[in-house]
A and B are shown apart, each in its own frame.
Chain A
C-alpha cells in the first residue's frame, strides 16, 4: 500500500509529533507514505476571499499526486475537506474543471481526476482494515477513558466526504477501542473546537474550546484524541493558555490518534513525539499494559 502524503502548512510548522507518529504507525503497519515534493497550501485559507484561488490551489496539489500516480492521504481535517471538495467539484463540474485547467496551464499542469483523497484515519478503516490492525496490536490500554473529537472537517460536508455519519460518527471510536481504550460519551461531541476562528476572533474561538474542555472534564476523560492539527492546538497548547488567562485548570492530555495507536502497536513512546505535546502525556502511559 502506497500513498502520496500531504502534510499541509500547520503540521510541519508546529505539530511535528503528528507527522512523526503517523510515519511510525504507517511503518509498523507496512504502509508506504511518499512525501509530495513542493506541495503548497491546500487553499482552504483563501476559500473565503477567492473561490477560484482555493480551487486552483487544491488542484495544484492534486495534480502533483496525480503525477505520482498515487491516491493521497492527509492528516489535517482542514486540508481533508478542502482537497476532497475540490477533487469532487473538479471531477463533477466540467465548466469549473475547464476554468481551473486554463489557470493551471500557465504552469503546465492539468487536473485529470485520476485519484482519490482520504484522511489517514479513513484509509486505516477503508483500505487497510480494522481486523488487520487488530492482528498487529501488541499492547493494550487498561482503564483509559478517551474523549474522541472527530472534528467538523473530518465528517462534513458529508455529500462530498461520504465516509462516516456526520451526526453519529463511529469509525474513530472503533479505532480507539482497538487499543483497549474506551471512547466515552461526553456532551456536544460534534461541537466545533473553535480552531477556524482563531485568526478572526480569538475570544470566540477560545470560548468554544473552553466549553469543550469543560465537557471533557465533566465526563472524566483521561485524555482527548484528535485527528486534526487545529483541534489539537485548541485542546492542547490553548489549554495551557486558557489556564493562564482564565485560571481554569483542566490537565487533560490531548493526543493525536496515531500517538495512541502507535503505543498499542508497540512503538516506543520516545518515537511518537509524546514529549512534544503541550500538556504532559505521562499519565496516559500508566494505562498501557
Chain B
C-alpha cells in the first residue's frame, strides 16, 4: 500500500468535536502547531506523507474525509515520542488512535489490521496455538499453551462492539 498525501477538498468544522469526544482526542485544541511531534517522529523521517502536526491541524480544520479514508493515519508506529515530548500535552499518538477508531466505525481499516482484529475475535489471539505449536513447545520442555475460552472472549468483544467494526460474520 503506497501512502498518498491527502489533498484537502472539503471541510467539516464540526469534525473536531467528534475527535474531542473520543478517548485520547480530548486535548486536540491545545495544539499550537510547533511541530515537535513531527520533528521527533521516526516514521516522519522516512515517510514524507506522514506528519503528525499536519494530522492534528487537519483534524482541527475538519478535513474529515481526507483523514478518514487515507492510509496516512495508519502509518504511526505508536512509539510515543510525540506523546512524551509535546509541550502542550496534545498526545498526538492518541489523537491518531482516536482518528483510527472513528475511521474503523466508517469501514476504513487496512487489511493487515482487519485480519488481526478478525483473529482476535475468532480465536481470542492474534496467532492460533495448535497442537503443532504445543508439540514444538513440549520438545523444548515448555508447558502447552491452554486454549482461550473462545465463547467467553467472544461475548466480551461482542458486547464491546467489535462486530460493528468488522465485516459481517458468515
Q: Which residues of A contact B (CB under 8 A)?
A: 7, 9-10, 12-14, 16-17, 19-20, 23, 35, 37-41, 43, 45-53, 55-57, 60, 102-104, 106-107, 152-153, 156-158, 166-167, 190-192, 194-197, 199-201, 204-205, 207-208, 211, 273
A93 and chain B: residue at smallest CB distance: B23
Q: How many residues of B contact A (CB 8 A)?
A: 59
- In contact, B161 and A37 (Cβ under 8 angstroms): no
**A-B residue pairs, 6 tightest by C-beta:** A156-B80, A199-B112, A9-B126, A49-B104, A13-B127, A40-B124
How far apart are the CA atoms of A204 and B43 in the complex, in Å? 8
Among B100, B129, B140, contact of A48 (Cβ-Cβ < 8 Å): B100
Contact status B165-A49, CB under 8 Å: yes
Q: Which B residues are CB-close (under 8 A) to A152?
A: 77-81
Residues of B within 8 A of A (CB): 1, 3, 22-24, 42-43, 46-47, 71, 74-75, 77-81, 83-84, 97, 100-101, 104, 109-110, 112-117, 120, 124-127, 129, 133, 136-137, 140-143, 145-149, 152-153, 155-157, 159-162, 165
Nearest CB of chain A from residue B120's CB, rounded to whole Å: 5
Other CB < 8 Å A-B pairs besides A37-B146, A152-B81, 5 of them? A12-B145, A23-B142, A53-B161, A152-B80, A200-B112
Set of chain B residues within 8 Å of A195, measured between Cβ atoms = 77
Closest residue of A by beta carbon distance from B130: A13
* Contact yes or no, A107 B137, CB < 8 A: no
Report the Cα distance A99→B24, complex, angstroms: 17
Say whether B129 contacts A13, CB under 8 Å: yes
Chain B residues whose C-beta falls within 8 Å of the C-beta of A49 in the assembled complex: 100-101, 104, 109, 113-114, 117, 162, 165
Q: Are A16 and B142 in contact (CB under 8 A)?
A: yes
How many angstroms between the C-alpha atoms of A153 and B80 in the bound complex?
A: 8
Closest to B116 in A: A45
B126 adjacent to A45 (CB under 8 Å): yes
Contact B84 A158 (CB under 8 A): yes
Contacts of A35 in B (CB 8 A): 143, 146
Chain B residues near A158 (CB-CB < 8 A):
84
Is A157 in contact with B156, judged by CB distance below 8 angstroms?
Answer: no
Return chain A residues, CB-CB under 8 Å to B3: 201
Docked pose: A207 CA to B113 CA in angstroms = 20
Nearest Cβ in chain A — how far from B102, in angstroms? 10
